[in-house]
Amino acid sequence: MVEWRRYLHQHPELSFQEYNTSRFVAETLRNLGMDVRTGVGGHGVVGILKGSLEGPVVALRADIDALPIQDEKECGYASKTEGVMHACGHDGHTATLLGVASYFSERRSLLRGEIRFLFQPAEEVIPGGAIRMIGDGALDGVDVIYGVHLWTPLEAGKVSSAPGPMMASVDDFVIDVIGKGGHGGLPHDTVDSVVVGASIVLHLQTVVSRSVDPLQPAVVSVGSIQAGTTQNVIADRCRLKGTVRTFDEHTRTLIRDRIEATVRNSCAMYGAEAEIQYLEGYPTLVNDERETERFFRVATALFGEAKVERCRPVMPAEDFAYYLQRVPGCFLFVGAGNERDGIVHPHHHPRFDIDEASMMNAAKVMIRMAVDYALDGK
């Protein structure tokens, strides 16, 4: 798994561009004697392993895409692709699931039912790869699904999950403010799109604090503001990009309505216009209660009660949520941080890394959950 992970880390590919990663996964699965489908949901790969005994169909999922981030680590396996990096652990997810596939392929005579290995593209970019893989039949006949995220905020050796809502929904927006450009010394002849954009940024910070129920978690963040070319020219256009995170569909709709009203009213106040693109993304990730109970039971037996935690809901989003809308399952975090070894950087950071021992823990818990479900007779 370490060898696979380091190869993938050196050769990352962006969402919807996972050509070589997909090929590598498919070849590895074929070498394990599996039936393999490629081109699922784009560059997705599905490996199918049928046991000799009757039983359920258990799906296990890993995501395979990387991020547009320059790798700043100083190590032998740093990314060789300029401006692209596995900064979220998907290389470790892929290597782990290949390890699990190897384990089961050597024990197919003892296997009950079918294990279906889903290697999913494009988790990082809305609309994501999960919904497309589902559309191409990746979940057809599946009884249950499990997924793992190697998680550096959690210490290596620990695992965590939670029943019900665990990860937020995500929506993205792009706001184009259209003003009237002109000379920086003659502002009265212009409609300053930068001033309007700055006003919108400030007003959007009141959407959560003054429009959302304080007991409902929500985030509105403007991550980018772009306008102008030089110091003495008033820009005619200003573009804002942001994201919205919620756990409640009513709150999700409310925030969208408030953002659109805030933008249009702010522009009207200054005599500007606005174009709004609002992209509805992944839904809230909701774990099945029964399958989460299975996780806690299996993980406690594997690692001991002190290493198994019930996590608080987190605002990052995951398109694994689409799978859970269709079949029961559980998504979980496996600790991958290690302060002693300097593995402390957050996900999406240019110096991100994982404690590679976490892959063995992830493999163990996925194997045990799949076997436990099959033995349960479900």
Q: Which is catalytic among the residues 63, 65, 91, 143?
A: 65
Q: Is 319 a catalytic residue?
A: no
308 neighbors 300 (Cβ within 8 angstroms): yes
| Choice among 13, 71, 114, 123 that is catalytic | 123
Rg (CA), the chain: 23
CA 13 to chain centre: 15
- What is each CA distance from 44 to 47, 83, 99, in whole angstroms? 10, 23, 18
The two three-digit tokens of residue 205, written as one number: 């910070």
Q: Is 65 marked active-site?
A: yes
Q: Where are the beta strands (DSSP E) in 136-281?
A: 144-155, 159-161, 164-167, 169-178, 182-183, 218-227, 233-234, 237-246, 273-280
- Residue 189 near residue 182 (C-beta atoms within 8 A): yes
Secondary structure class of 307 (helix, strand, coil): helix
142, 329 contact by CB (below 8 A): no
Q: Which residue has the tokens 């927006």?
A: 173
By C-alpha distance, which of 139, 140, 52, 166 is closest to 323? Answer: 139
Other beta carbons less than 10 A from residue 275's beta carbon: 13
Q: ω into residue 127 within 30 of 0, thus cis?
A: yes
Q: How far apart, in whole angstroms, are the C-alpha atoms of residue 101 and residue 28?
A: 10
**What's 163's DSSP letter?**
S
Please list the helix, strand and coil fractions of the chain in percent, rounded to the nearest 5, in that order: 35, 30, 35
| 369 touches 146 (CB < 8 A) | yes
CB atoms closer than 10 angstroms to residue 97: 29
Q: Both tokens of residue 22? A: 């997909």
Active-site annotation, residues: 65, 123
